[in-house]
Structure 1
């Protein structure tokens, strides 16, 4: 047995020793890590069709956040200053996330760190991770495109928002340089990875909803870039005449996905895992 195999055996042994705490005791770092690895492994066991359908559903459901964003921004037009209106959008931004996460659909940013941990624990390969990320991203994007098309059509028909509102939201999201969007997306991915981590320590639905609301509201209030909600926001802008070009959309989407992936995989999965491993070694 090689040194690396011995080290991995020791890590697995320590994880096996962790037991689930009772309801009155907070979970330890090891217990949360073990649960995250197990949950990540369950996703790897699902069929490709199941993952695509679940992630497509998440892409549709996250669109309800956009519906509320556009409706509230249109409602506040002329009543408050525009910068104030954009800050107030954080009140409704979390709704789509609550639907997706409590409903157990697969959202890329919420699953990024979760799916990385089995790779760090040598239970899955990097190739499997990238393949799974690919399925989730494709499903999320397709669902977002479909929802954006529906909402851009129905919004003006219901008089709840107009094309100008769609353009304002898209411009608000994309009007930054490459590096600003990248770092912003890293911070957003970091927050979403922490969301997944913190949710593992909570069992009842009310607490989970509060945690989701709190973290995603912070993400919105700070104006951080989320690749899947942003997909709906920017693609909707692409559908409005003379608003955005496809190049604008593609550049935003690639940078936001990259940043979110780095934030969740590096700043949550890698650091949390290494903190546990380092404690065992030293």
Structure 2
């Protein structure tokens, strides 16, 4: 008698495929003599770190992301101070290019302080969803909490710095207006594509940081990536929110609608760049290397 072997369902095949992927990720070992991490090791560490974030309480996530919004505002403080100091001495275009020297400070404070910044976490938090360890709705919920905390922290610091700057004599409101108008001068498609590239770079930064635990190396990587954002004029949704919201507070040339239009476009672009061009491509590159 010949017994017909029962065919596996698509769900069973998918489950077996996922188990195979997890097995390859978990068995990854470093074979490099120079100590550099392999693709699989970075992916494993990124997923582990992301899962730890998913498991944090709502209060912890909100407080950490609020702190990130406060800390990244120090970049805005330096931008305004730097611009005010050079205004009238250096051509405006040269000032905006040289701002890239001070722009990274807030990012260094956030990343080394391990606060939760949306653009640095976008790709990271997408990986457990691709790896089927977390659901898409849970990722969207976490994104929402992080964005809310980042923006609230930025709003608070905008109010403080706009009030404090002129009183300390370190910058005037025209500087805030000039920076905000510079950030928002592009059309919606331009801002979106620019934000996609910025999100891509920030996602790559998270990936690169996972390959090194040396503090100096991490600072150099943060400085290089974020200074590129400033020098190229790419749009970052969190520091950009502070720049444009502050401009809205002091200038009648920037309406609240202008702020909402910019912010929604930059957020979508950053999210797309980090999730698609980093998380998905890095993850699929590893998966495609696993035999069917």
Scaled by the length of structure 2, the TM-score of the pair is 0.95
Deviation at 1:232, TM superposition (A): 0.5
Question: Does residue 193 in structure 1 map to residue 203 in structure 2?
Answer: yes
Structure 1 residue 205: deviation in Å?
Answer: 0.7
Distance 1:137 1:274 in 2: 26
Indicate the RMSD between aligned Cα atoms, in angstroms.
1.1
Q: Which moved more, 1:20-29 or 1:140-149?
A: 20-29
Secondary structure at the residue paired with 1:2?
Answer: helix
> Are 2:227 and 1:217 equivalent residues in the alignment?
yes
Equivalent residue for 2:114, pick from 104, 107, 114: 104
- 1:150 lines up with 2:175 in the alignment: no
Change (3 A) 1:7 1:175: same
1:278 and 2:288 correspond: yes
Offset at residue 19 of structure 1 (A): 2.8
Question: Could you tell me which residue of structure 2 aligns to residue 178 of structure 1?
Answer: 188
Structure 1 CA distance, aligned partners of 2:278 and 2:56?
24
138-147 or 13-22, larger mean C-alpha shift:
13-22
User: Tell me, what secondary structure is at the counterpart of 1:229?
Assistant: helix
Give every structure 1 segment of 4 or more consecutive aligned residues whose post-TM-superposition deviation is greater than 3 Å. Answer: 20-24
Q: Which residue of 2 aligns with 1:239?
A: 249
Larger radius of gyration: 2
Deviation at 1:21, TM superposition (A): 6.5
Corresponding position of 2:25: 15
Q: Which runs of 5+ in 2 are unaligned?
A: 1-10
Contact 2:30 2:36 in 1 (8 A): no
TM, length-normalised to structure 1 = 0.98
Tell me the distance in 1 between the aligned counterparts of 2:135 and 2:111.
Answer: 26
For residue 24 of structure 1, give the secondary structure of its aligned residue in structure 2.
coil
What residue in structure 2 maps to residue 250 of structure 1?
260
Which SS does the other structure have where 2:290 is aligned?
helix
Is residue 123–residue 203 contact of structure 2 (8 Å, CA) maintained in 1? yes
Alpha-carbon contact 2:177-2:251 (below 8 Å) kept? no
Question: 1:22 Cα deviation (Å)?
Answer: 7.9
Question: Which of 160, 170, 184 is equivalent to 2:170?
Answer: 160
Deviation at 1:242, TM superposition (A): 1.1
| Match runs of 1:53-68 below 5 Å | 53-68=63-78
Partner of 1:47: 57
Q: Structure 1: any 5+ residue segments left out of the alignment?
A: none
Give the match for residue 127 of structure 1.
137
The number of aligned residues is: 282
1:236-267 alpha-carbon deviations (Å, 9 max, x no partner): 00100413100000000000000000000000
SS of aligned partner of 2:226: helix
1:117-149 Cα distance to aligned partner (Å, 9 max, x none): 000000000000000000000000000000011
Structure-1 separation of matches of 2:111 and 2:120: 8
Q: CA deviation at 1:75?
A: 0.5
Distance 1:22 1:278, change over 3 A: closer
